[in-house]
Amino acid sequence: ETPITGAEGATSEARFAAAIAGFGQLLQDSVYLGDWGWDQAIDLALSARGDDPYGYRIEAVNLMRLAAGLDAN
């Protein structure tokens, strides 16, 4: 049996990938997100930023923030 752990047990790469997947679901206004929203996606991405030598991850977070602002309007 393999125990299922929370996101905090995953690697930063897996957590960042989950944040990006959630971002895509938010852009599509997916019914599968439940109460998971922009703030959770951004927080997860920031907590999983890890090594970002070229700034791609922080740029993805900036895109999330822009999209969240557009969605609020």
Sorted by where each begins, the domain ranges of the chain are 11-72
At CA 37, angle to CA 44 and CA 72, rounded to 5?
Answer: 125
> Can you tell me the distance from the alpha carbon of 67 to that of 26, in angstroms, rounded to the nearest whole number?
9
> Can you tell me the distance from the alpha carbon of 58 to that of 49, in angstroms, rounded to the nearest whole number?
7
pLDDT digits 0-9 by tens, 5-60? 777 778 999 999 999 999 999 999 999 999 999 999 999 999 999 889 999 999 99
What pLDDT band is residue 73 in, cutting at 50, 70 and 90? low
> Can you tell me the distance from the alpha carbon of 61 to that of 20, in angstroms, rounded to the nearest whole number?
9
Cβ pair 47, 73 in contact under 8 A: no
pTM score of the predicted model: 0.85
Which tokens go with 59? 């740029």
pLDDT at 44: 96
